[in-house]
Structure 1
Amino acid sequence: MREKRYPNITRYTALIIVMLTIFATIAGRLLFLQVVKGQDYKEQSNNKSIREIPDIAPRGKILDSKGSILATSTQGYMLVYNKTDESDKVFFTTMSKVFKILDQSGESQQDDFELKINPFRFEFRSDDEATRKALEIKFKRDRGLNDEIEKDIKSKNKNISDDELKSLVNKKLLTISAEDTFKKLVKQYNISSAYSLEQQRRFMIVKDTLKMQSFSGYKPVTVASNIKKETAFKFLQMLNVLPGIDVTTQPIRSYPNGDLGSNFIGYISKISSDYEKYTEKGYDVSSDYVGQAGIEGALEDRLKGSKGGKIVKLNNNGRITENLGQRDPYPGQTVQLTIDKDVQKAAETSLDTTLAGLRANPYQRGSNTTNATRGTAVVVNVNTGAIVALAQVPRYDPNLFAVPGRLSSEMYNEYFSPDMGQFGKNYIESRGITANYPGESEDDVLNTLFPIDKSIKNNTTIRQDVYDIYPKPFYNYATQSLIPPGSTFKPMTAIAGLETGVITPDFSLYDNGTFDQGGKTLKFNLDGPNGVVNLTTAIEKSSNPYFMTVAEKLRNAFGDDILAKYAWKFGLGIASNSSVKPATGIEIPEKFGQVYNTVSNKNTYASTYLWKTMSVLKSGQDDYGHKVVTIDLYDNNNDSSQVKGTKNNIKTLIKNSIKDGSSAFDKAKYKELFSELVKEDPNNKKDISDSQMSNLINVIYSITISDANAQLKVPANIENAAIGQGLNQFTPLQIVNYISTIANGGTRYKLHLVDKYLDADGKLIEKVNPEIIEKTGIKPENIEAVKAGMGAVNEKGTAAAVFSGFPISTAGKTGTAQSLGNQEQVGRTDYSEYVGFAPLDKPQIAVCVVLFDGGQGGIGAATVARDIYTAYFTSNGTISSSTTTTSAGQNN
């Protein structure tokens, strides 16, 4: 049988066949895609028809300790605009109709556009001028106003560096007025001048939002937020004649209690800083809102939730025709706080009422309290460190920031750009302060109390509040204010005296109302004379001579730092060499004050007397009238790096002289550095003779060694600290923690606002347990001795008038502290302070109340504390409201 033969198929032939097959397949697929599905993909390739619409996640709730809502998110109707080629053609016609319907329905256009009219101005949400300038520069750069300027500068200087170019452009941008900026944007957005100024700006808001959002991808522009249901339905019925307009829902932040707790809750606002940080975290910096201040800011990552979104297909009128895909948003975590809403409300109401009473009846106990506009009260669970209330005056309503457009220009100015000139004039006239400055006009006094901020170039209107007079709603007075504790510090001095053994509870002396402080006799008219006092009666009557004597004994036996050693155990400052972060533990930002100690005292004196030395050298005359050659050591923008270095070396030498005394006073080094300065610095260029140089150095010696350094060593420092004055400065939060530590027997807890974190379904994620920072180790009998004295304060001492008839036994300490060395001259007066705890036998809560410019004696502050106790113990059933009638005169 003949063998059947096949053609000889080589590898090359096989390869050709495979390749032809592949190309045929590709060609067929291309034909299918281009011809059969071409129209579909043509539509999808147009990014104006296929869009991703973000779906904002509801922020997590903020609850009080009992579950009452302090902040939540509610669904609100939103009117949005989707830009397409078709809707853009009739934009002005459409939006004119939209604005008319909104106005007729009593709705407001969403407006967080910082460029305002009538008058033209920028409104950036910051009370810091440098920050506002930075925001203005960014605003103009984002809208391309820098392009023309850059081209002009580059054409004149082709070799200019990037940094120098940026600096010059920024300076030029700041010269473009708000009105000129508006005109440029009108032109850029093709808005007809035939429209009124108000209409132009309304169109501009939408056009500008479209432009800003284009940097981060497409999303609809919100035209109006949180509109009424009836208004939403009205628009839904008219969609066919409003191309691009649609109605949707979006979570709206809501604070059902208004301004209650605003100082610790915080608020939400558009991103205005740290753009890169937020971009990296997935935020749309053109439109997303983030937590600002308080819990909203500190716990942003927990509260924000996970953003969702959907891929949709739009028709030519911007209407959604098809949902191509969806990712559901997930709500943020719920944060349950330790705050008791009822106690918080009682504290705020009492602060409001008490301060109003002080302003209405200002001349009591030797103080003028017409400026009693600020106060704070902190309440802590002494056995856990949980904060029960954190109240203050003034406050703000965070709802104003939750929806753009709610904050009026008047409120904006009050919060972020107050007219300090007008405020200052009213303040000076109402208090008759001009009489304190003989021969000076009201304008002269205004320039002293509220000087024009010279750090701002070409500024003639922006004034500084150098004496802390203006009430600031966004300033947290409990966590940020460093104040002298006054007599509320005396229990701390008692503990140090008892623990070291320099006194016993029975130690007594005769208080004649005076104290000999190194040849200078101090007289205490408010707190004495008190006759014979021991520890209990010294606390009860607030005897200054008694506690200054305790300080004298402490210093003689153990040195100047012994008082600090014990105060640090109670959270009143921290050792300079400590590796521990100085903090109470609270979750929101705080400052942390310091008790008198030698290291801090040296640093404080070094800074204070450096400025005094610089002032004397610039004026050419010291406090005794001695003339000296004028030298300017202040920083100058035109200083070369060499001049800056020489000035810094002189300043360091001055500070070291103050700290270390005559051993660090190097006359040769002073002569060398001043000789360099007058040679290098055009502003200080002069010939200095040997006699002038010698006189210059002698004047510096007099200030730094004879005055400043000598004062570091005097007994008065620790004696003043023992009664809560001098260097001692703490926040009310620190003070309440110290009192809480006494109340519970000597255990200092970490303070906290958060009790637990929950998921969106209310399931527990994390419980915040009490955390001990330090067990002080103070002997129980010494703690009890101090408690006995504090019990006597409320029973028959300085706070007895307020707590007379109160149904449970309480303990406390009143305090008065100077706000400023020249407080009466500038129209301010003492802090009114009160600390305490209750019940006396088994303490549950501790309080600290501070009334700024509240006057002497602490009675007003004690009144607030009583109202807090009433609310707390009525709430937990310990007492009934019928047994807590207000004592007569306790608003005094």
Structure 2
Amino acid sequence: MVGKKEKKFTRYTVLIVIMVIVFTAISSKLVILQILDGETYAEKANNKSIREIPEAAPRGNILDKNGSVLASSNIAYILVYNQTDESDKHFFDTMSKVFDLLDKNGETQKDDFELKINPFSFQFRGDDEETKRALEIKFKTDRGFADEIKNKLYKGKKGELTKAEKAKVDEELLKITPEETFKKLVKQYKIDDKKYTIDQQRRFMIIKDTLKMNSFSGYKPAVVANNIKKDTAFKFYQLLNDFPGIDVTTQPMRSYPNGEVASSVLGYISKIGAGDDKYAEKGYDTSTDYVGQSGIEAAFEDRLKGSKGGEIVKLNKQGRILERLGKRDPYPGQTVQLTIDKDVQAATEKALDDRMNYLRANPSEQLGSYTANATRGAAVAIDVNTGAVIALASRPGFDPNAFAAPGGLSSDLYNKYYPDVTEEGKEYIERMGISGESEEDTLNKLFPVDRSVKGKTVRQDAKDILPKPLFNYATQSRSMPGSTFKMMTAIAGLESGVITPDFGVDDEMYFDKGGGLSGRVYFRNDGPNGWVDLAKAIEKSSNPYFMTVGKMLRNQYGDDILAKYAWKFGLGADPTSDSKKSTGIEIPEAFGQVYNLWSLKNSYSQTYLWTTMEKLKAGSDDRGNKFTPIDLYDRDSDSSKIKSIKGDIKKQIQSSIKDGEKAFNKDTYKSLISSLIQTDPQYKDKNISEKEIKSMISAIYYVTVSDANSQIRAGFSMYDASIGQGIDAFTPVQIANYIATIANGGTRYSVHLVDKFLDANGKLIEQVKPEVAEKTGVKPETLEAVKAGMNAVNEKGTAAQAFQGFTIPTAGKTGTATIANDQGDFGRTDTAVYVGFAPSDKPQIAVCVMLYDGGHGSGAAYVARSMYESYFKINTNTKSNTNSDSNNTAASDNN
């Protein structure tokens, strides 16, 4: 066919076709990547989009013996901020709107940030100033301030800083004021201080700081507000698109439905503190996790905490969940059921508060006591047949809810729970009308500056004056028992055979400690009781009777015979043995000790060592010896050799105190002191003569042998101990258990607060059974003789008024413990103590009540009556906590 061209399939054509196919494929892929799957791949490009969000496990419940809830975990709505590159672009605008919505709905921003404003200050949680100092250093170090100081002081230094250099950095950190810290953080977090008020700046700072601290342990959202109302949560749900990064989630929140009730038992939870490395090793997130800090919450943290869960999620650019990739469910902690009876516990706390209110309102009612500072008290009730604690109260208490969530501890509560000793001390001095050369001198005497805390001016409550809500007075306050110890002296006397129940003493209101008239101690408030046998001596609380028994015990069996029997009842333990120094209670306790020679020597060796060191440092003693001052205190600048010599001298001094003449060697002292003078550069040009060294040794001898050791060898410590004074010091828990042991016939049980452990479904895991700590072996007739006197105390003795008209027979003993000979000079007075059990014919419950600065022990009996009324469910409509002590104003200082 003419004119028609034949098409040829050349290489060029093939190349063109291939190129068209390739470009078509590329274009198609680009369309898919950029348009159809654009958002997905954009999220993948953001390396912050896939996160693991931890999910807290509900803490196990804590129940009372009847199943009433004392602590639980409730699901709460939480507002969080998820940080992404996109949400960060809108941070300030977003958070401004969030704060406005929170405020309009009556919600509170989460605020556990320690840096406060108006005025600028730090509020670190700590029971002592050294802890607060450490927390301040850590706070500033975590925020980069220490690096700035290191670069300034030691720029270019290679390797680790020396101990001295680190101390210098810490010193410089502490110089940065709260206001300067605030301004540094405003700059660090790029907060516009011109655009926003100082309150707004701090609100932004809280979120920014939380994100920074969270970053140390991996990604976690910042909590903006805890436990918000359901309505508020739904409003935020509806507006999430307007708030990039904001989300609403839920998590368990610790709750204590009864407020302060049983706070001394339950304790509280709080964020993990600085330096608690043990928690990191156990898998805790130390930046956000809460743990038990005291009480049952701390003692059984491992059982209560549960197993944490978590979820792997993909977030979109607004910081909200786009996809859930995996989940591990949390598992609740175990339930701890206590032996505590919530109703008896609440009644006990109320009775203590009511009684202390009455004492403060009527401070001059009691003869010889001024009770205006009756601000602290403790009471314990124990089941005499099992050792189970029915009530354990410490006042003042605290609300554990304040610690259960960030921001719960308001500034007012912080100041209440962690008081400023200087301010509280000034207020106390003014309120109590304590006179002195000046307020400053008086403040320094009662609340001296603690020199051991470097970089801070802090004061100590040296006279134990101020109430401490977070301190458990029931388990940690060791106090003299006063006359409540007299039954123990009676038991030792009867069991050792030095007296019988009929043994009598003519009580002429004095006792001769030795040395004739000069050695007599008078009990004028008691008045003469005439001829008293054992039962009458307990009823009247006759000091001469029991001091006489103490003297007889010492003369026949030595100084430790009283302790031998007291240890059987849990009043201390042999300090030289491996025996358990505990009542058995599951929460921390400060186990007290009865008078014994070993403890007395060790107590004196420390007290008189300080006295000796002060005399040597002053360069003179009470006998007129003068010499070049010698410093035995440890100093940072001391070489290891100097520290060793000082240590040897101090050991020698303590040996002289304990063992007197046989341990005092002049040549040894001369050699050690000469060695110190030659080694320590501060004495290089002093030209200290041998005569001066002799004077130093003479001063040491006078304090250690003539004074301290002669007192140890004298009998008065035993006589004082026999009436519950001197170095006898026990906790209310110890004393209650001692009374329970008398009441049940001589079997001492381990004290316990826990009845059983249950799983999350209420299934029994473990039942706690009563444990016998010791069978005392005391004869029944001995205990019956003691009980006869205790019955008489409540029927016609020092506690009769408190139990007038009570329908159940009870037995008891009052006690009044003097804390110091000069206690009135600094506004304190005797501790009022009462112990008892009921019913007296078939005992079920034993109690101990202590009212610090409460005066006569007869007043503490009113608290015990209220405890019995609640336990036995008796409604007598008494005014037991406001009754006057007018009929008891002649009560003994040791009643």
Q: How many Å separate the matches in 1 of 2:565 and 2:877?
A: 39
Aligned to 1:816: 816
Q: Which digits, 9 at most, give the CA deviation of each residue in 1:522-569, with x for residues without a partner?
A: 111233311111110011110111111111111111111111100010
Distance 1:165 1:749, change over 3 A: same
Shift of 1:278: 1.1
Q: Which digits, 9 at most, give the CA deviation of each residue in 1:89-128, with x for residues without a partner?
A: 1111111100010111111111111122222222111132
SS at match of 1:332: coil
Structure 1 residue 371 corresponds to structure 2 residue 373: yes
Amino acid across the alignment from 1:510 = D
Aligned to 2:491: 495
Aligned to 1:108: 108
Aligned to 2:451: 454
Shift of 1:40: 6.1
Distance 1:780 1:649, change over 3 A: same
Distance 1:752 1:274, change over 3 A: farther
Shift of 1:683: 3.7
Do the aligned partners of 2:64 and 2:337 also contact (CA within 8 Å) in 1? yes
Q: How many Å separate the matches in 1 of 2:876 and 2:510?
A: 44
Structure 1 residue 65 corresponds to structure 2 residue 94: no
Larger deviation, residues 422-431 vs 652-661: 422-431
Do the aligned partners of 1:807 and 1:884 also contact (CA within 8 Å) in 2? no
Amino acid across the alignment from 1:133 = R
Q: How many Å separate the matches in 1 of 2:452 and 2:147?
A: 29
Q: How many Å separate the matches in 1 of 2:362 and 2:85?
A: 67
Q: How many Å separate the matches in 2 of 1:348 and 1:149?
A: 51
Shift of 1:84: 1.6
Q: How many Å separate the matches in 2 of 1:277 and 1:162?
A: 26
Structure 1 residue 561 corresponds to structure 2 residue 560: yes
Do the aligned partners of 1:806 and 1:884 also contact (CA within 8 Å) in 2? no
Aligned to 1:802: 802
Q: How many Å separate the matches in 1 of 2:187 and 2:433?
A: 52
Do the aligned partners of 1:595 and 1:728 also contact (CA within 8 Å) in 2? yes
Amino acid across the alignment from 2:608 = Y
Shift of 1:882: 4.1
Distance 1:136 1:238, change over 3 A: same
Aligned to 2:213: 212
Shift of 1:638: 2.0
Amino acid across the alignment from 1:517 = K
Q: How many Å separate the matches in 2 of 1:767 and 1:607?
A: 45
Q: Name stretches of at least 5 consecutive residues in structure 2 with no aligned partner.
A: 1-28, 887-895
Amino acid across the alignment from 2:488 = M
SS at match of 2:257: coil
Do the aligned partners of 2:264 and 2:394 also contact (CA within 8 Å) in 1? yes
Q: Which digits, 9 at most, give the CA deviation of each residue in 1:626-658, with x for residues without a partner?
A: 434422222223222222111111111000011
Distance 1:197 1:38, change over 3 A: closer
Q: Which digits, 9 at most, give the CA deviation of each residue in 1:46-96, with x for residues without a partner?
A: 442211111111111111111111111111111111112221111111111
Aligned to 2:510: 514
Q: How many Å separate the matches in 2 of 1:49 and 1:486?
A: 68
Larger deviation, residues 37-46 vs 862-871: 37-46
SS at match of 1:881: coil
Aligned to 1:175: 175
Q: How many Å separate the matches in 2 of 1:289 and 1:261?
A: 20
TM-score, normalised to structure 1, is 0.92
Do the aligned partners of 1:354 and 1:891 also contact (CA within 8 Å) in 2? no
Equivalent residue runs for 1:644-659 within 5 Å = 644-659=643-658
Q: Which digits, 9 at most, give the CA deviation of each residue in 1:293-350, with x for residues without a partner?
A: 1111111111111111111121111121222111111111111111011111111111
Aligned to 2:361: 360
Aligned to 1:881: 875
Amino acid across the alignment from 1:450 = F
Aligned to 1:295: 296
Structure 1 residue 592 corresponds to structure 2 residue 591: yes
Equivalent residue runs for 1:92-131 within 5 Å = 92-131=92-131
Do the aligned partners of 2:358 and 2:882 also contact (CA within 8 Å) in 1? no
Aligned to 1:849: 849
Q: How many Å separate the matches in 1 of 2:806 and 2:261?
A: 27
SS at match of 1:216: coil
Do the aligned partners of 2:830 and 2:852 also contact (CA within 8 Å) in 1? yes
Larger deviation, residues 269-278 vs 512-521: 269-278
Q: How many Å separate the matches in 1 of 2:415 and 2:878?
A: 42
Structure 1 residue 395 corresponds to structure 2 residue 397: yes
Structure 1 vs Structure 2 CA RMSD: 2.0
Q: How many Å separate the matches in 1 of 2:66 and 2:455?
A: 54
SS at match of 1:540: helix
Q: Which digits, 9 at most, give the CA deviation of each residue in 1:810-844, with x for residues without a partner?
A: 11010011112321111111000001111111100
Aligned to 1:26: none
Aligned to 2:345: 344
Do the aligned partners of 1:154 and 1:160 also contact (CA within 8 Å) in 2? no
Distance 1:500 1:663, change over 3 A: same
Amino acid across the alignment from 1:586 = I
Shift of 1:131: 1.2
Distance 1:752 1:159, change over 3 A: closer
Do the aligned partners of 1:678 and 1:687 also contact (CA within 8 Å) in 2? no
Q: How many Å separate the matches in 2 of 1:407 and 1:548?
A: 51
Shift of 1:210: 1.1
Structure 1 residue 673 corresponds to structure 2 residue 686: no
Distance 1:703 1:76, change over 3 A: same
Q: Which digits, 9 at most, give the CA deviation of each residue in 1:830-887, with x for residues without a partner?
A: 000001111111100100000001113x02211100110111011xxxxx41476749
Q: How many Å separate the matches in 2 of 1:889 and 1:38?
A: 82
Do the aligned partners of 1:306 and 1:332 also contact (CA within 8 Å) in 2? yes
Equivalent residue runs for 1:213-362 within 5 Å = 213-362=214-363
Equivalent residue runs for 1:428-439 within 5 Å = 428-434=429-435, 437=436
Aligned to 2:702: 702
Q: How many Å separate the matches in 2 of 1:111 and 1:513?
A: 62
Q: How many Å separate the matches in 2 of 1:108 and 1:265?
A: 26
Q: How many Å separate the matches in 2 of 1:770 and 1:778?
A: 21
Distance 1:627 1:150, change over 3 A: closer
Equivalent residue runs for 1:678-693 within 5 Å = 678-685=677-684, 686-693=686-693
Amino acid across the alignment from 1:872 = Y
Q: How many Å separate the matches in 2 of 1:161 and 1:271?
A: 27
Q: How many Å separate the matches in 2 of 1:487 and 1:105?
A: 59
Structure 1 residue 550 corresponds to structure 2 residue 544: no
Do the aligned partners of 1:803 and 1:887 also contact (CA within 8 Å) in 2? no
Do the aligned partners of 1:835 and 1:847 also contact (CA within 8 Å) in 2? yes
Aligned to 2:720: 720
Distance 1:161 1:245, change over 3 A: closer
Distance 1:212 1:262, change over 3 A: same
Structure 1 residue 620 corresponds to structure 2 residue 619: yes
Q: How many Å separate the matches in 1 of 2:512 and 2:163?
A: 62
Distance 1:710 1:283, change over 3 A: same
Do the aligned partners of 1:573 and 1:592 also contact (CA within 8 Å) in 2? yes
Do the aligned partners of 2:174 and 2:455 also contact (CA within 8 Å) in 1? no
Amino acid across the alignment from 2:180 = D
Q: How many Å separate the matches in 2 of 1:684 and 1:102?
A: 68
Amino acid across the alignment from 2:677 = V
Distance 1:79 1:166, change over 3 A: same
Kindly tell me the number of residue pairs found equivalent between the two proteins. 848
Q: How many Å separate the matches in 2 of 1:232 and 1:348?
A: 38
Q: Percent of pairs identical after alignment?
A: 63
Do the aligned partners of 2:355 and 2:881 also contact (CA within 8 Å) in 1? no
Equivalent residue runs for 1:138-217 within 5 Å = 138-155=138-155, 157-158=157-158, 161=161, 163-193=163-193, 194-217=195-218
